[in-house]
Structure formats: structure tokens, C-alpha cells
Amino acid sequence: MAGKFILKKTPRDFFRFSLVTPNCMTILTSKNFSTKAECLEGLKLFKENTESEIEDKTLQKTVKLKSPRFEIYFDEVNLYRYRLIAEDGVSVATSEEGYPTKSSCIKGIKAIPAAVEDAQIDESFLAE
């Protein structure tokens, strides 16, 4: 199930990428990047690290993993979410929706490599 990456320019002139499934569900969205080149570099970093280890920030005693890594954490309404953390400690991309269980969040992370494998980059939204 290949998805696609959609590049967009925000109203404040930042650039972001989103990973979208074939049925048009947004799986995750990147942080804001200052330039299109930085956004594409962030997308490349994301694609290269889709099978990174998972650090569970919902536990009382977290085992710190090296980056890049995925982190599972609780959002403001106590749903599970994940984000990819780059080597510099910055979050590159975050899950779009929260998950009710940790196992469903992990399943979401594990589905990313298949969605990214043949994903094309759609820049048509940059012109908006």
C-alpha cells in the first residue's frame, strides 16, 4: 500500500510534508521547514529512517535510545502518538491522529515502511 508525500507551503511561508494513504488519509505531518530544500532533506531523512527503533515515553522508566528513533508519547488528551526524532533531537514528523492503545500506535509505526516504499512526491500544492 504505497502512499504519497504531499509538499505544501503554509500561510506563514514555511514548507511541510505529509504522508497520505491511497484512500487520502493523512498519516503524519512534518515540522515546519524554512525552505523547500530543507523540507525535501527532512523528507529524505524520514524515508531513510522508517524502520528506526521505538522509544516508549509513556513508561515511568524510559530506556533512552539513540536517534534517529520513533518516540511514543501521550498527547494532551491522553491518546498515544508517535514522532520521528532526528539525530539532533528535533522532531521531524508527528502522527496526525492519536491512537487509543499503545499496540495500535506501534502498528501505525510498523505500517510506515510499506506506505513509504514507492511513495511519490506531490508538489502540486506548492502553487496554492
Q: In order of start, what are the domains of the chain with their CATH numbers?
A: 4-115 (2.30.29.80)
The values of phi and psi at residue 41, to 5°, are -65, -40
Q: Are 71 and 85 in contact (CB under 8 A)?
A: yes
**pLDDT tens digits, residue range 32-88?**
999 999 999 999 999 999 999 999 999 988 888 888 999 999 999 999 999 999 999
User: According to the model, what pLDDT value does residue 98 have?
Assistant: 96
Average pLDDT over residues 3-15: 95
Question: What are the strands, taking DSSP E only, across the chain?
Answer: 4-9, 15-20, 26-30, 54-56, 69-74, 80-85, 91-95, 120-122
pTM assigned to the model? 0.89
Q: Is pLDDT of 24 > 90?
A: no
The values of phi and psi at residue 121, to 5°, are -105, 120
Residue 2 — pLDDT band, cuts 50, 70, 90? confident
Cα–Cα distances (Å) from 88 to 21, 45, 68, 85, 93, in that order, read: 28, 12, 8, 8, 14
Q: Is pLDDT of 128 > 60?
A: no
**pLDDT tens digits, residue range 118-127?**
899 999 888 6
Rounded to a whole number of angstroms, the CA Rg of the chain reads: 14
